[in-house]
Structure 1
Amino acid sequence: MSIDATKGLSLPVRRVIACIGIVVFLAIYVVIVSSIGERLPDNDLVHLLYYGLSGILWGIPVLPIISWSENYKGRKR
């Protein structure tokens, strides 16, 4: 039996928690991406591909946070 501790949270509270979580995640993500970027070979194509993909891929881990904050699974259709 699993207990969902966040089930009783209102939508505005979920949104605030999600916003804080996203900001913290992005701060850590930027530090990691820039640290790795400093170690890349000095090649413009490599930098373009790396930073291009890094700029797009941050959204994948954020999607579950947004989905949780909007309570998509709990909505009645």
Structure 2
Amino acid sequence: MGGSTRRFIAMIGVLAFLALWIWGVIALRGLFPAGMLLDLLFFAVGGVGWGVPLYPLFKWAESGKD
């Protein structure tokens, strides 16, 4: 599989994952009581945390092996 094919598959995977991640963070936030500080902390962690589960996909997309 060529590099451009791997990158295309990774792009589709990232878009699908981010759509589900955003939906999940918003849905999970609704389970907790309202509060500005809690919103800040919750969405800060949710906004930064998406990259950790995608790291293996990024690594695979840039590697030369299958």
The TM-score with structure 2 as length reference comes to 0.91
Gaps of 5+ in 2: none
Looking at both structures, which has the greater relative contact order when contacts are Cα pairs under 8 Å and sequence separation is at least 6? Answer: 2
* 1:7-26 equivalent positions in 2, closer than 5 A: 9-26=1-18
Higher helix share: 2
Instruction: Tell me, yes or no, if structure 1 residue 68 matches structure 2 residue 60.
Output: yes
Aligned residues: 65
5+ long unaligned stretches in structure 1: 1-8
Q: TM-score, normalised by structure 1?
A: 0.79
- Percentage of pairs with the same residue: 32
Please state how far the C-alpha of 1:64 moved relative to its aligned partner: 0.9
| CA-based RMSD | 1.1
